[in-house]
Structure 1
């Protein structure tokens, strides 16, 4: 049984496939959906949508830290080659920054919700728009790591092990 946890598979992971993308897709969906609900609630006046937005941001705040834990662990096992390192470093920097930004926006949202759960200021929606834009940039770099540089894909893992990639 211990062999299962200490040996790495074809993806250079101790478990069947990457977990970071699975968790991070929840974060992406929750942040975007929270913003969508908040904008819709703002323009329709339906305060129930603000509640949906709040809970999505709350769960996204917790989930992003889980995504970062798996991301850091899997990045360490990826053995990125020289060309991919800069993109991985940018992706890591933005990811850690997003954890702070999401936590801060969620805290701000908690204060707003405590004072008046029926309204959202336009400044909060502007911050939500900026957050969604930053998430979009982060998605771009994450996609590059998988679809351009092939981190944790079998052919790239084999090429790195064989010394074909510096």
Structure 2
């Protein structure tokens, strides 16, 4: 059965480079931009920015699940060494949690938009601040996995294959 799968390259992936960071950067940008649009729209009383925010959250909700699929594939192929496992597990747990949180906030936003597209309640903005904080922590964990632990870098993949790590 495994002979039908593509061979793994020097990044230990069946495709040229990691896809998870590419997709997840869209999610990060859309969530943060949605929050910025909501905040500026609230402060300037410009409801047109709420529409921009809504569509960013809508597409972020779709994109976060694509990011998770690639993240799960790449985490499974990473062969994490002992020091990395706790950070990778926490990053995975928060990633799955964020998918639910983003979907829930987007659903809430849909209801608010349906009732009155020209107003945004303070509790929603508060939840957006919390979401933004969790996104920043997730960014920190992802950066740690790549820049400190070197997952899917050629040197770390070679060290794992040679049994050094």
Which TM-score applies when normalising by structure 2?
0.97
Question: Runs of at least 4 residues of structure 1 off by over 2 A?
Answer: none
Q: Output the CA distance in 2 between the equivalents of 1:4 and 1:44.
A: 57
Paired position in structure 1 for 2:145: 145
Paired position in structure 2 for 1:126: 126
Paired position in structure 1 for 2:53: 53
**Contact 1:27–1:60 (CA under 8 A) maintained in structure 2:** yes
Q: Output the CA distance in 2 between the equivalents of 1:36 and 1:146.
A: 27
Q: Output the CA distance in 2 between the equivalents of 1:61 and 1:84.
A: 28
SS at structure 1 position matched to 2:16: coil
RMSD of aligned alpha carbons: 1.3
CA displacement 1:49-95 (0-9 Å, x = unmatched):
00000000000000000000000000000000000000000000000
Q: Which structure 2 residues correspond to residues 1-166 of structure 1 after superposition, within 5 A?
A: 6-165=6-165
**Contact 1:4–1:14 (CA under 8 A) maintained in structure 2:** no
CA displacement 1:17-47 (0-9 Å, x = unmatched):
0000000000000000000000000011111
Q: Output the CA distance in 2 between the equivalents of 1:4 and 1:17.
A: 20
Which TM-score applies when normalising by structure 1?
0.97
> CA shift at 1:6, angstroms?
1.4
Segments of structure 2 that go 5 or more residues without pairing to the other structure are none
> CA shift at 1:5, angstroms?
5.2
Q: How many residues matched?
A: 164
